[in-house]
Amino acid sequence: MITFKDFLREESDPVDAGEFFHREAQPFINKAAGAGLMYRGFVDTDYIKPYAKITLPSGKVVDVGITAVRKDRRSRDLPTVAHDAFNTWMKDTFDIDGRTGSAFVLGEAAEETASGYGYLYVVIPQGEFKYLWSPKVNDLFRTYVNSGIKDHLHRLTQSGEMDVFQSIVNATMDTLDYRDTDLPQALQSTSEIMVECEYLLVVYETAEVVAALKEVLK
């Protein structure tokens, strides 16, 4: 794997798509086992920087971008207290910063949902990565509302019983079947997948790109 800075220093010709991804994303290829791709919608594409050009099996050349995964993410919908409590459980249970230091992506069955968040890209973790998902959770905000956690938040915040609130969050999360395994199943689900890595490789989604990447990511 070539580092981001090293690649930016090179004036390289297009690279064969299979060669490129087997060099840059072998951990994803191994874990996904050909089950599908990850998708993400980007409202602001300024965060995506040029990284490489790849040649698809058809001979077409397309751009690959790269974007850093934020390590200080704050939720747009969840109150900070709940956001941090969920992250604490994920860190304690799976050693992953699922809410504060991961990118949220979706698999094959939720590609259309991903497109609702902005310009649709295929996203692939560069190098080693961790992931977390649950077959019972499409969106953790809905779980926060529907599980009753939301109803406890105001009362316990007002009384300063944050340890009690964390216990309630922990008890709920323990029932939701979160796992850091079975990526092929996750890619065929509608569940949100939290991916912790340094960088995501991104390719603008088209039917030709999707078909080509499914062919070469084996």
Tokens 């960088």 appear where? 199
The string of DSSP letters for 112-129 reads HHHHTTSEEEEEEE-SS-
Residue 75: its pLDDT value, please? 86
Domains held by the chain: number: 1
Residue 166 belongs to what domain range? 4-216
Higher pLDDT, 40 or 152: 40
Q: What is the pTM of this model?
A: 0.90
pLDDT digits (tens, 9 = 90+) for 102-151: 999 999 999 999 999 999 999 999 999 999 999 999 999 998 888 888 88
Which residues are 65's β-sheet partners?
A: 50, 202
**pLDDT > 70 fraction of the chain, expressed in percent and rounded:** 94
User: Tell me: the pLDDT tens digits for 34-74?
Assistant: 999 999 999 999 999 999 999 999 999 999 999 999 999 88
pLDDT of residue 1: 54
Percent share of the chain, pLDDT over 90: 75
In the three-class reduction of DSSP (H, G, I as helix; E, B as strand; rest coil), residue 215 is classed as helix
Total residue length of the chain: 218
Query: Do the Cβ atoms of 97 and 88 come closer than 8 Å?
Result: no
Q: What are the two backbone dihedrals, phi and then psi, of residue 47, each rounded to the nearest 5 degrees?
A: -75, -15
